[in-house]
Every structure is written in C-alpha cells, then in structure tokens.
Amino acid sequence: MAGPSVVALAGGVGGAKLAEGLQARLGDRLAVIVNTADDSERHGLLVMPDHDTVMYTLAGIEQAGLGWGVEGDTHGVMTQLGAYGEPMWFSLGDRDLALHIVRTAAVRSGRRPTEACLAAQRALGIAARILPMSDARVATEVQTDDGWLEFQEYFVHRRQAPEVRGLRLDGIAAAAPTPEVVAALAAAEAIIIGPSNPLVSIGPILAVPGMRALLAAARARGARTAGVSPIVGGRALKGPADRMLASLGHESSALGVARLYADLVDVFVLDEVDAALAPAVEALGLRALVTDTVMTDDATRERLAATVLAAVRVA
C-alpha cells in the first residue's frame, strides 16, 4: 500500500458518503471500520446493514434516494415471502438478498464474518477495505416506554418513533477487534470518525473491548485524528441522532457531539451553519474546522473528504 494509510470509523448513510469521498482520494490506502451492532438475522440470513450501506456506496450501486440497498432493485422474493406469511416490514431487495445468501453460506461453512465481507467487497471491485468492528455477535438494544427493543424493531419496524430512554449492547463484553482492525489501526497515519450517529453507529465501535486502547496507541505514535459532526444546525441530516442525543441527556448539537469525541480527536469538523459553536469546541482542546459538511453528490463527498484529509495532513 503506497502512501499514508487512513482509517475511517463509520456506520449508516452519512459515514458511507464520507467514506466514498475518502476512497475517491485514497483508493486502497483507506480502511473503514464499520458498526456491526445493528446486524440482524432475517429469514435465516445474516444481514449487516451498516457494512452493506458502506459497501454498496463504495461500489457505486447504492439507492441514490435512500442511501441503502441496491439501485433499481426488485422485491419479488419479499412479495412471495409475504404470500407465505413471513413478516415484510424489513424489506430486502432481490439483488440485496444475493449478498446475504452468499455471506451466510460462507459464515456457516466456517469463515469469519470479516473474511466473508472482504470476499464480497473484492467481487464488487471495491478498492478500500471495509472491516467489521468485531467477528463476535454484538446487538444494540433500545429502551423505550414499551421496554427493550431489538434495534431493527425500533429503527425500521417502529420507524424510530419511540423515545429512546437507554441503550445497551448485548454481547459486547465478549467481543474483540478483529486482526484486520488491529492491523489497520497499527498502520494508520490518520483516523477519521465519520458523520454517523455517535451513539448507535460510532458508539458500539468504540465500546468493543480494546478498541479505545488501539486508538490511543495510534495517537501516541503520531496518528492524526478528526471527527465530523453528523448534527447540522441542531438536526441530524438523516436518522434519529438528534432525538437520541436529547433524550439520553446530551446536547443535540455539533458541540454535543464534540464533547463525546473530545478525548479521541484532534480536529472537529462542523458545518458553516454552526460556526458560532467553534469557540466552544476549541475550549474542549480541539481544533475546530468550519466548512460545508452537507454531501449531496459525488463532488461534495470528495470535497469534504479532501478538506478533512488536509486537516489531518494527508495528501
């Protein structure tokens, strides 16, 4: 791998968009560590939503209007599953199902999830490596007024409507970073936390035992670090991050996210509409970088990536 290597932490649409911009600049010098705590079994198949969102985006085949799934996909299988009485609220496209079938078969044959995911990425010609945070099963559970819900029940079936009272990660104590994650962080010259939900996309990655120590070791040997706010003008551009932050006692703002990352990053990137928050961010001991963080197309994704890479001094 020629030149500096960069590791991004990501989950969901915002992180995937920035990862695409980073890949456009870095190619195979990029590794993306993704959240796996929202993975789920559907119709007997292993579904990995955050990994797959990033993979489809980096392959250039994601549904442009949604940011997840495969562009132009059909849903014939789901329609037939419904005819057999199967629940249809977690809809999987036909081409999307092909990935879940191949990956599940690989895991059941004894391959690690990371190995199965890397094989799928190679098949799609993706330059970067997308690395699950752990090969162990970890599951985010969401506490609501109706009790504890499996993450996809909350996120998809109930459309993020219930107020979030608490979060927990089932299985996290037995998880560990994969060898690929350890190697990527050991080689990283820069680490970037993408504009993903800090609580349920980035939070599980950081909660994997040993992960924070790996990040600290990378910083101690000189790796430069940056975080990009997923909150713009007090609102999440996509998903429930703003409402989650507020209901769980955090400030729903770029500054609130900066506080969560203050011990992890050197530079914090916030949108121009939040420029007034820059002095408060810098009071945390961070360098505040104000720029346009809204990514609407390939050009704006690469533009933001270039800005963040310059901030961590990667050409």
**pLDDT band at 315; cut points 50, 70, 90:** low
Q: Could you tell me the sign of the dihedral formed by the alpha carbons of 263, 166, 240, 151, in that order? A: positive
**Residues 201, 10 contacting (CB under 8 angstroms):** yes
Residue 59 has, within 13 A of its CA and on its CB side, a CA count of 21
Q: How far is CA 224 from the centre of its chain?
A: 20
What pLDDT sits at residue 56? Answer: 97
> What span, in angstroms and rounded, lies between the C-alpha atoms of 63 and 67?
5
Average pLDDT, integer, range 116-136: 98
* CA separation, residue 309 to residues 7, 12, 214, 245, 264 (Å): 11, 21, 21, 27, 17
Average pLDDT, integer, range 249-253: 96
User: What 3-state class would DSSP assign to 65?
Assistant: coil
* 69 or 175, greater pLDDT: 175
What pLDDT sits at residue 88? Answer: 93
Tens digits of residue pLDDT in 50-108: 999 999 999 999 998 777 899 999 999 999 999 999 999 999 999 999 999 999 999 99
Strands 190-193 and 30-34: unpaired
For the entire predicted model, the pTM comes to 0.96
* Structure-token match 């409507």, residue found: 161
Domain boundaries, the chain: 6-138+171-311
Average pLDDT, integer, range 241-269: 97
pLDDT, averaged across the chain = 96
Give CATH superfamily name and number for 6-138+171-311.
CofD-like domains (3.40.50.10680)
